[in-house]
Amino acid sequence: MEHDNQNKNITSISSGEMDAGARIDKWLADQLEALSRSRIKALIEDGQLRVDGAVMTDPSAKLSAGQAMELTVPAPRPDKPIPEKMDLDIRFEDEDLIVLMKPAGLTVHPAAGHWTGTLVHGLLHHCAGSLSGIGGVERPGIVHRLDMDTSGVMVVAKSDRAHKGLTEQFAAHTVERAYIAFTKGAPAPKAGRIETQLVRSSKDRKKFEVPWDPESEAGKHAITNYETLARFGQDPRAAIGTGLAAKVECRLETGRTHQIRVHMAHIGCPLLGDPLYGSRRGGIIASSDNGRELKEFRRQALHAAILGFKHPVTGQYHRFEADMPKDMQRLEKFLERL
């Protein structure tokens, strides 16, 4: 049975006795001729399938007899983003590139659940008539990204030549990138280098993790250098000098998805407020006086503070620094009172 719900096509279907043990994406592809297996797999990974009322995100899961499934197929999106007027904090702009301060809460690129209101939509409006084309298409060139809830400075290409030159610099790891993070617990040692592989979690497709085998070559190589700038409070369960929280500078040699968030969690110091790799509750810190300030911090405490690169056209070196936004400044003042 198929029905339309707010421009979404929802298909309801149930498995029979003979279907038990079948791989769910393949079985659905056999039942629904209008959708390819790859399309169904993508929909499942995007959380569009419910099995017996619960969201299923594993396309390789095996069916049981008598399971009720609902597959939602969102309405087709426009083949290209429509420009949207947006207040952008521009730090530098010329005919080849633009440097801006991205606020927390702004998604960089259109993706599932964010087909409008992204930075790309805002840049298409701001740069109307000045984009010379990336790969022959009038669009801004996203050469690196910040997670939706990470604030900070980033650069975007406006021309094909700038896109090519910036991409080469990021690939060669010659771009200076420094982030400020507030962590639950303090790193030990105070400074260090984290070098691991990063793989997508088999339990949660939205997460990444360090393989349990340190010799594994699966996934992508990732390197983060960190330095503790300040420690806050005293963990009553640990040795003297063990902080409840810390302010940490992280410098990237590679730029993998969620890299800092995964690496800091890997060494036992997840970012405060991180809903994926830490805990919004904050434990002992949140139970302290005025702990509500941490509870009200609604994102991972991560800010891209420094970005330095060689202009891909003029050859001039540019270095930009962005102060922490007010929410992170308030968080730091709270931590200083621990």
Question: Annotated catalytic sites, by residue?
Answer: 147
Query: Strand locations in the chain, DSSP E?
Result: 2-5, 8-14, 49-51, 54-56, 68-73, 89-93, 97-102, 141-142, 151-157, 176-184, 191-200, 208-209, 220-232, 245-252, 302-310, 317-321
Hey, how many other C-beta atoms are within 10 angstroms of the C-beta on 235?
Answer: 18
Using DSSP's 3-state secondary structure scheme, residue 327 falls into helix
> Which residues, in sequence order, are CB contacts of 35 under 8 Å at separation 6+?
28, 29, 43, 73
Q: Which residue has the tokens 């503070």?
A: 305
Q: Which of 183, 179, 226 is nearest to 324 (CA)?
A: 179
Beta bridge partners of 320: 307
> Which residues, in sequence order, are CB contacts of 287 under 8 Å at separation 6+?
none
Using DSSP's 3-state secondary structure scheme, residue 119 falls into helix
* Measured distance CA(297)–CA(184) in Å, rounded: 13
* Measured distance CA(283)–CA(244) in Å, rounded: 10
Contact 155, 98 (CB under 8 A): yes
Q: Which residue has the tokens 């406006």?
A: 158
C-alpha angle 141-142-143 in degrees, rounded to nearest 5? 105
Q: Which of 179, 155, 153, 150 is nearest to 167 (CA)?
A: 155
> Which residues, in sequence order, are CB contacts of 191 under 8 Å at separation 6+?
225, 226, 227, 228
Contact 147, 255 (CB under 8 A): no
